[in-house]
Amino acid sequence: MSTNIEASLRQERRRRWRDLLLAVFTPIMLLVAWQAAAWTDVIDAQLYPPPSAVLARWAQLVRSGELLEHLKATMGRLSIGYFLGALGGVVVGSAMGCRRSVAAALGPLFSALYALPKVAVLPLLLLIFGLTETPKILAVAITVFFVLQINTLAGIRQIDPRTLEAARAYRATGWRSVRFVLLPACLPAIFTGLRVAAGLGIAVVIAVEFVASNSGVGYLIWNSWQLFQPERMYAGLLTAALLGACITGVIAAVEFLAMPWRRAQGLSRKFVNPRANPVIDQDQRK
Protein backbone atom coordinates (compact mmCIF):
# COMPACT_ATOMS: atom_id res chain seq x y z
CA MET A 1 0.00 0.00 0.00
CA SER A 2 2.80 2.44 0.92
CA THR A 3 4.54 1.67 -2.39
CA ASN A 4 1.39 2.60 -4.28
CA ILE A 5 1.07 5.85 -2.35
CA GLU A 6 4.70 6.74 -3.10
CA ALA A 7 4.14 6.00 -6.78
CA SER A 8 1.07 8.20 -6.75
CA LEU A 9 3.04 11.02 -5.11
CA ARG A 10 5.77 10.77 -7.73
CA GLN A 11 3.18 10.83 -10.48
CA GLU A 12 1.55 13.91 -8.94
CA ARG A 13 4.92 15.66 -8.70
CA ARG A 14 5.63 14.92 -12.37
CA ARG A 15 2.24 16.37 -13.31
CA ARG A 16 2.94 19.53 -11.32
CA TRP A 17 6.31 20.00 -13.05
CA ARG A 18 4.63 19.44 -16.40
CA ASP A 19 1.95 22.02 -15.60
CA LEU A 20 4.61 24.50 -14.47
CA LEU A 21 6.63 24.02 -17.65
CA LEU A 22 3.53 24.48 -19.80
CA ALA A 23 2.58 27.63 -17.89
CA VAL A 24 6.03 29.12 -18.50
CA PHE A 25 6.67 27.73 -21.99
CA THR A 26 3.40 28.87 -23.61
CA PRO A 27 3.76 32.66 -23.08
CA ILE A 28 7.47 32.48 -23.96
CA MET A 29 6.64 30.83 -27.30
CA LEU A 30 3.99 33.46 -28.02
CA LEU A 31 6.50 36.24 -27.30
CA VAL A 32 9.11 34.57 -29.53
CA ALA A 33 6.56 34.28 -32.34
CA TRP A 34 5.64 37.97 -31.90
CA GLN A 35 9.32 38.97 -31.95
CA ALA A 36 10.00 36.93 -35.08
CA ALA A 37 6.94 38.32 -36.85
CA ALA A 38 8.09 41.88 -36.15
CA TRP A 39 11.64 41.18 -37.33
CA THR A 40 10.49 39.54 -40.58
CA ASP A 41 7.92 42.31 -41.29
CA VAL A 42 5.01 39.89 -41.08
CA ILE A 43 3.39 42.51 -38.85
CA ASP A 44 3.93 46.27 -38.82
CA ALA A 45 6.54 46.94 -36.12
CA GLN A 46 5.38 50.55 -35.81
CA LEU A 47 1.91 49.43 -34.73
CA TYR A 48 2.98 46.20 -33.04
CA PRO A 49 6.50 46.81 -31.67
CA PRO A 50 8.41 43.63 -30.77
CA PRO A 51 8.53 42.50 -27.13
CA SER A 52 12.18 43.50 -26.87
CA ALA A 53 11.33 47.13 -27.65
CA VAL A 54 8.35 47.06 -25.28
CA LEU A 55 10.46 45.64 -22.45
CA ALA A 56 13.18 48.24 -23.10
CA ARG A 57 10.61 51.05 -22.91
CA TRP A 58 9.04 49.48 -19.81
CA ALA A 59 12.45 49.39 -18.09
CA GLN A 60 13.04 53.01 -19.08
CA LEU A 61 9.73 54.05 -17.53
CA VAL A 62 10.62 52.16 -14.34
CA ARG A 63 14.05 53.79 -14.10
CA SER A 64 12.63 57.27 -14.64
CA GLY A 65 10.03 56.71 -11.91
CA GLU A 66 7.12 57.65 -14.20
CA LEU A 67 5.65 54.14 -14.26
CA LEU A 68 5.89 53.80 -10.49
CA GLU A 69 4.00 57.07 -10.01
CA HIS A 70 1.20 55.92 -12.31
CA LEU A 71 1.14 52.50 -10.67
CA LYS A 72 0.96 54.06 -7.22
CA ALA A 73 -2.06 56.16 -8.25
CA THR A 74 -3.87 53.15 -9.73
CA MET A 75 -3.10 50.93 -6.74
CA GLY A 76 -4.41 53.57 -4.33
CA ARG A 77 -7.77 53.81 -6.10
CA LEU A 78 -8.02 50.07 -6.67
CA SER A 79 -7.11 48.98 -3.13
CA ILE A 80 -9.55 51.34 -1.39
CA GLY A 81 -12.40 50.61 -3.78
CA TYR A 82 -11.71 46.87 -3.74
CA PHE A 83 -11.69 46.68 0.06
CA LEU A 84 -14.86 48.75 0.49
CA GLY A 85 -16.73 46.89 -2.24
CA ALA A 86 -15.67 43.43 -1.03
CA LEU A 87 -16.58 44.18 2.58
CA GLY A 88 -19.95 45.63 1.64
CA GLY A 89 -20.71 42.78 -0.76
CA VAL A 90 -19.95 40.08 1.82
CA VAL A 91 -22.00 41.81 4.53
CA VAL A 92 -25.03 42.50 2.32
CA GLY A 93 -24.85 39.07 0.66
CA SER A 94 -24.74 37.41 4.08
CA ALA A 95 -27.72 39.44 5.27
CA MET A 96 -29.70 38.50 2.17
CA GLY A 97 -28.82 34.85 2.62
CA CYS A 98 -29.76 34.76 6.31
CA ARG A 99 -32.87 36.96 6.17
CA ARG A 100 -35.57 36.25 3.62
CA SER A 101 -37.11 39.70 4.02
CA VAL A 102 -33.80 41.38 3.17
CA ALA A 103 -33.43 39.25 0.05
CA ALA A 104 -37.01 40.07 -1.00
CA ALA A 105 -36.44 43.79 -0.51
CA LEU A 106 -33.04 44.10 -2.20
CA GLY A 107 -33.03 41.25 -4.71
CA PRO A 108 -34.96 42.92 -7.59
CA LEU A 109 -33.16 46.24 -7.06
CA PHE A 110 -29.72 44.67 -7.16
CA SER A 111 -30.65 42.60 -10.22
CA ALA A 112 -31.50 45.79 -12.09
CA LEU A 113 -28.44 47.72 -10.91
CA TYR A 114 -26.06 44.85 -11.63
CA ALA A 115 -27.03 44.96 -15.31
CA LEU A 116 -25.86 48.57 -15.62
CA PRO A 117 -22.34 49.02 -17.05
CA LYS A 118 -20.32 50.31 -14.12
CA VAL A 119 -18.36 52.74 -16.28
CA ALA A 120 -21.68 54.25 -17.40
CA VAL A 121 -22.29 55.32 -13.79
CA LEU A 122 -19.12 57.43 -13.84
CA PRO A 123 -20.77 60.60 -15.29
CA LEU A 124 -23.30 60.53 -12.46
CA LEU A 125 -20.54 60.10 -9.87
CA LEU A 126 -18.58 62.96 -11.44
CA LEU A 127 -21.68 65.12 -11.33
CA ILE A 128 -22.16 64.42 -7.63
CA PHE A 129 -18.57 64.40 -6.38
CA GLY A 130 -16.75 66.41 -9.03
CA LEU A 131 -13.28 65.71 -10.47
CA THR A 132 -11.92 64.13 -7.30
CA GLU A 133 -10.67 60.68 -6.36
CA THR A 134 -14.05 59.70 -4.92
CA PRO A 135 -15.81 58.84 -8.23
CA LYS A 136 -12.90 56.64 -9.33
CA ILE A 137 -12.86 54.75 -6.03
CA LEU A 138 -16.64 54.38 -6.00
CA ALA A 139 -16.67 53.00 -9.56
CA VAL A 140 -14.36 50.19 -8.42
CA ALA A 141 -16.27 49.67 -5.18
CA ILE A 142 -19.61 49.32 -6.98
CA THR A 143 -18.15 46.77 -9.39
CA VAL A 144 -16.61 44.66 -6.64
CA PHE A 145 -19.69 44.99 -4.40
CA PHE A 146 -22.08 43.26 -6.80
CA VAL A 147 -19.68 40.40 -7.55
CA LEU A 148 -19.14 39.64 -3.85
CA GLN A 149 -22.82 40.09 -3.00
CA ILE A 150 -23.88 37.57 -5.64
CA ASN A 151 -21.18 35.04 -4.71
CA THR A 152 -21.76 35.31 -0.97
CA LEU A 153 -25.52 34.89 -1.39
CA ALA A 154 -24.99 31.88 -3.66
CA GLY A 155 -22.57 30.36 -1.16
CA ILE A 156 -25.06 30.63 1.70
CA ARG A 157 -27.92 29.21 -0.35
CA GLN A 158 -25.83 26.19 -1.30
CA ILE A 159 -25.25 25.14 2.30
CA ASP A 160 -26.77 21.75 3.07
CA PRO A 161 -29.81 22.25 5.38
CA ARG A 162 -28.68 19.22 7.36
CA THR A 163 -25.50 21.10 8.25
CA LEU A 164 -27.55 23.96 9.69
CA GLU A 165 -29.75 21.52 11.60
CA ALA A 166 -26.67 19.85 13.10
CA ALA A 167 -25.30 23.27 14.08
CA ARG A 168 -28.55 24.18 15.84
CA ALA A 169 -28.54 20.80 17.60
CA TYR A 170 -25.11 21.65 19.01
CA ARG A 171 -26.40 25.11 20.00
CA ALA A 172 -24.29 26.94 17.43
CA THR A 173 -26.40 30.08 17.09
CA GLY A 174 -25.67 33.74 16.47
CA TRP A 175 -22.00 34.56 16.08
CA ARG A 176 -20.95 30.94 16.69
CA SER A 177 -23.09 29.84 13.75
CA VAL A 178 -21.55 32.51 11.52
CA ARG A 179 -18.00 31.71 12.59
CA PHE A 180 -18.09 27.92 12.57
CA VAL A 181 -20.78 27.13 9.96
CA LEU A 182 -21.75 29.92 7.57
CA LEU A 183 -18.35 31.54 7.01
CA PRO A 184 -16.37 28.31 6.37
CA ALA A 185 -19.11 27.08 4.03
CA CYS A 186 -19.15 30.37 2.09
CA LEU A 187 -15.38 30.90 1.83
CA PRO A 188 -14.96 29.01 -1.49
CA ALA A 189 -17.66 31.15 -3.12
CA ILE A 190 -16.27 34.33 -1.54
CA PHE A 191 -12.74 33.67 -2.79
CA THR A 192 -14.09 32.89 -6.25
CA GLY A 193 -15.82 36.25 -6.16
CA LEU A 194 -12.62 37.96 -5.00
CA ARG A 195 -10.68 36.56 -7.95
CA VAL A 196 -13.36 37.59 -10.44
CA ALA A 197 -13.71 41.02 -8.83
CA ALA A 198 -9.95 41.60 -9.02
CA GLY A 199 -9.96 41.42 -12.82
CA LEU A 200 -13.13 43.48 -13.13
CA GLY A 201 -11.83 46.07 -10.67
CA ILE A 202 -8.61 46.54 -12.65
CA ALA A 203 -10.57 46.86 -15.89
CA VAL A 204 -12.90 49.47 -14.38
CA VAL A 205 -10.20 51.59 -12.72
CA ILE A 206 -8.19 51.68 -15.96
CA ALA A 207 -11.29 52.60 -17.98
CA VAL A 208 -12.07 55.37 -15.49
CA GLU A 209 -8.50 56.67 -15.74
CA PHE A 210 -8.91 56.87 -19.50
CA VAL A 211 -11.43 59.70 -19.25
CA ALA A 212 -11.32 61.19 -15.76
CA SER A 213 -7.73 61.26 -14.59
CA ASN A 214 -4.31 62.69 -15.34
CA SER A 215 -2.46 59.89 -13.55
CA GLY A 216 -2.58 56.11 -13.30
CA VAL A 217 -1.89 53.19 -15.61
CA GLY A 218 -5.07 53.89 -17.58
CA TYR A 219 -3.98 57.48 -18.19
CA LEU A 220 -0.56 56.21 -19.30
CA ILE A 221 -2.15 53.88 -21.86
CA TRP A 222 -4.64 56.44 -23.18
CA ASN A 223 -2.13 59.29 -23.33
CA SER A 224 0.34 57.06 -25.19
CA TRP A 225 -2.34 56.18 -27.74
CA GLN A 226 -3.19 59.85 -28.27
CA LEU A 227 0.49 60.71 -28.81
CA PHE A 228 0.99 57.60 -30.98
CA GLN A 229 3.65 56.01 -28.78
CA PRO A 230 2.90 52.28 -29.18
CA GLU A 231 5.87 51.08 -27.12
CA ARG A 232 4.79 53.24 -24.18
CA MET A 233 1.18 52.08 -24.61
CA TYR A 234 2.19 48.40 -24.60
CA ALA A 235 4.33 49.03 -21.52
CA GLY A 236 1.19 50.28 -19.77
CA LEU A 237 -0.76 47.23 -20.91
CA LEU A 238 2.04 45.00 -19.63
CA THR A 239 1.88 46.75 -16.27
CA ALA A 240 -1.88 46.21 -16.06
CA ALA A 241 -1.46 42.52 -16.87
CA LEU A 242 1.27 42.09 -14.24
CA LEU A 243 -0.86 43.93 -11.70
CA GLY A 244 -3.77 41.56 -12.31
CA ALA A 245 -1.53 38.50 -12.08
CA CYS A 246 0.00 39.68 -8.79
CA ILE A 247 -3.36 40.44 -7.17
CA THR A 248 -4.81 37.11 -8.30
CA GLY A 249 -1.74 35.32 -6.94
CA VAL A 250 -2.09 37.00 -3.56
CA ILE A 251 -5.77 36.05 -3.38
CA ALA A 252 -4.95 32.44 -4.30
CA ALA A 253 -2.27 32.30 -1.57
CA VAL A 254 -4.67 33.70 1.03
CA GLU A 255 -7.32 31.19 -0.08
CA PHE A 256 -4.81 28.34 0.31
CA LEU A 257 -4.00 29.45 3.86
CA ALA A 258 -7.56 30.30 4.88
CA MET A 259 -9.07 26.90 4.04
CA PRO A 260 -6.77 24.16 5.36
CA TRP A 261 -9.67 21.70 5.54
CA ARG A 262 -9.89 21.67 1.73
CA ARG A 263 -6.27 20.53 1.49
CA ALA A 264 -7.02 17.78 4.01
CA GLN A 265 -10.08 16.71 2.02
CA GLY A 266 -8.02 16.55 -1.15
CA LEU A 267 -5.43 14.32 0.48
CA SER A 268 -8.09 12.04 1.95
CA ARG A 269 -9.76 11.63 -1.43
CA LYS A 270 -6.44 10.90 -3.10
CA PHE A 271 -5.14 8.29 -0.66
CA VAL A 272 -8.29 6.91 0.98
CA ASN A 273 -10.84 6.82 -1.80
CA PRO A 274 -9.65 4.22 -4.33
CA ARG A 275 -11.67 5.81 -7.13
CA ALA A 276 -9.64 9.02 -6.72
CA ASN A 277 -6.36 7.09 -6.93
CA PRO A 278 -6.01 4.99 -10.08
CA VAL A 279 -2.76 3.45 -8.84
CA ILE A 280 -4.40 2.02 -5.71
CA ASP A 281 -7.46 1.02 -7.68
CA GLN A 282 -5.36 -0.88 -10.19
CA ASP A 283 -3.45 -2.64 -7.42
CA GLN A 284 -6.67 -3.67 -5.70
CA ARG A 285 -8.06 -5.05 -8.95
CA LYS A 286 -5.00 -7.29 -9.22
Average pLDDT across the chain, whole number: 84
Q: Confidence band (pLDDT; 50, 70, 90) for 175?
A: low
Q: How far is CA 53 from the centre of its chain?
A: 29
Strand, coil or helix: 170: coil
Quickly list H helices, the chain. Answer: 2-39, 51-64, 66-98, 100-114, 122-129, 133-157, 161-169, 175-177, 183-212, 217-226, 230-258, 260-271, 278-285
The answer to whether the beta carbons of residues 252 and 262 sit under 8 Å apart is no
Is a pLDDT exceeding 70 seen at residue 266? no
Label residue 216 left, alpha or beta by phi (over 0 means left) and psi (-120 to 50 means alpha): left
**pLDDT 10s digits, 83-139:** 999 999 999 998 888 888 988 999 888 888 888 887 888 888 888 888 888 999 999
pTM over 0.85: no
How much of the chain, in percent, has pLDDT values that exceed 70?
A: 86
The 10 Å Cβ neighbour count of residue 131 is: 11
Backbone phi, psi, residue 47, to 5°: -90, -35
Q: Please, what's the b/e burial string for 79-109 (b: 16 or more CB within 10 A of its CB; e: otherwise)?
A: ebbbebbbebbbebbbbbbeeeeebeebeee
